[in-house]
Structure 1
Amino acid sequence: ILGMGINMAMIVFSKGVPQFMEYMGMADASAIINGDCCLDKLWIALAVSVTMNTIFAPVFMTFHKITDTHILDCGGSLRSLITPIPMARIITHLNWDTQWNFVFKKTIPFFWYPAHTITFLLPDEVRVLFAAILGVALGVLLAIAARMK
């Protein structure tokens, strides 16, 4: 389900942002994002990444944290798939200091903006796979950082 959400967001933002850029006066942004690499494509990819990660990522990351917490609360068992998620309880007990000051303020601008800029320079058919690899890479980096503390 989370993977489908990422795929949907990538489609919506990779099509919508170039359309908006054309509306704002950049000629052929929709064609450029799907063409060969050039400076204009880099700027469009950056715009798509910043827009997607500013609008979609905080909501997605919070929902991801809620589902992770629910799975942990269910002992990591399949029971988590059929047990209703106690949203109010989980949301009120989230560590919002970490969510805001680390997840939103550090991982989004310093990891996801540049990483997804690269993602949107790639052909459509490999973007979701590359984004999944980036998620694993970030997880490994965070695990290493946590062990070094």
Structure 2
Amino acid sequence: MKFTDLIASAAIILVILLFTMVPASIPAFGEFAQAHAFAMSFLKFAFLGTLGEMVALRIATSRYTHSAFGLMPRFLVWGCIGLVIHTAFIIYATGTPNFLMGLGFSLPADALIQGSFLTRLGLAFSISALMNILFAPLFMLAHGVVSMHIEKTGGSLLGFFSPINISQLLSDIDWKMVWGFVFKKTIPFFWIPAHTITFMLPSGLRVLFAAALGIVLGVILAMASLKRNEAPA
């Protein structure tokens, strides 16, 4: 293990502890976090999502970054992802119970907190399944397009804010990888189970846990990319 690996591991642990222990131990910070949930979602995803991409790059290339990686653009993108994910959590966590009751299921008020374990598990799974089937594919595709834009513009902030040639980027996507692995495998076998756990957690920890999952997925995607590149033609 290189010294940089130790630094990266320490950074990930430090960020997670910062967003879990500090709000609980410092009342003023905790009140700020509750009052500015979207801002905190931005920061959680910005730090952990960017770290996840750096870990994935380390696995694939033995480097955490390079001149065209685009550290600041990726930080901004992951922060915006945090805002979108937080919004999606609110929409699906509140909308799914109404959908299930419309189908004839009986749910207690605030079922994710006050329901039995099986009720909470079933509701959490339903929220995760609906969100990952209806929302995740287009969202993942949009994220992929923006990531490709960062790479094609050299990772600079100026290039990041230049117009995005969406049609060209969509034609450049490795659809075999997107459909065959990202959609068909990570959604049913990773994201739906992982977000089922997410919605079983207290609401204050859901976004942080979801952000941390980005690191895990980055490792999975990096390993899959290495395996695909090593496969015989």
Contact 1:29–1:44 under 8 Å retained in 2: no
Is 1:108 aligned to residue 187 of structure 2? yes
User: Is the alpha carbon distance of 1:73 and 1:29 closer, same or farther for their aligned partners in structure 2, counting shifts above 3 Å?
Assistant: farther
CA distance in 2, matches of 1:76, 1:19: 43
Is 1:12 aligned to residue 91 of structure 2? yes
Match of 1:85 in 2: 164
**Comparing 53-62 and 74-83, the one that deviates more:** 74-83
Look at both structures and tell me which one has the larger radius of gyration over its CA atoms: 2
CA distance in 1, matches of 2:224, 2:174: 18
Match of 1:94 in 2: 173
Output the amino acid matched with 2:107: D
Match of 1:41 in 2: 120
Matched pairs, number: 149
Match of 1:63 in 2: 142
Q: Structure 1 stretches of 5 or more lacking a match?
A: none
Following TM superposition, by how much is the alpha carbon of 1:73 offset from its aligned partner in structure 2, in angstroms?
A: 0.5
User: Is the alpha carbon distance of 1:90 and 1:146 closer, same or farther for their aligned partners in structure 2, counting shifts above 3 Å?
Assistant: closer
CA distance in 2, matches of 1:37, 1:138: 30
Match of 1:119 in 2: 198
Superposition RMSD in Å: 1.6
User: Is the alpha carbon distance of 1:63 and 1:40 closer, same or farther for their aligned partners in structure 2, counting shifts above 3 Å?
Assistant: same
Q: Structure 2 stretches of 5 or more lacking a match?
A: 1-79
TM-score (norm 2): 0.60
Can you list the C-alpha shifts for 1:38-88, whole angstroms capped at 9, x where unaligned?
101101100100100000010010000000000001111112332011111
CA distance in 2, matches of 1:54, 1:19: 18
Following TM superposition, by how much is the alpha carbon of 1:89 offset from its aligned partner in structure 2, in angstroms?
A: 0.8
**Comparing 135-144 and 53-62, the one that deviates more:** 135-144
Contact 1:42–1:117 under 8 Å retained in 2: yes
CA distance in 2, matches of 1:33, 1:22: 14
CA distance in 2, matches of 1:24, 1:36: 18
Contact 1:66–1:90 under 8 Å retained in 2: yes
Identity fraction in percent: 43
User: Is the alpha carbon distance of 1:27 and 1:136 closer, same or farther for their aligned partners in structure 2, counting shifts above 3 Å?
Assistant: same
TM-score (norm 1): 0.92
Match of 2:72 in 1: none
Output the amino acid matched with 2:162: T
Contact 1:119–1:127 under 8 Å retained in 2: yes
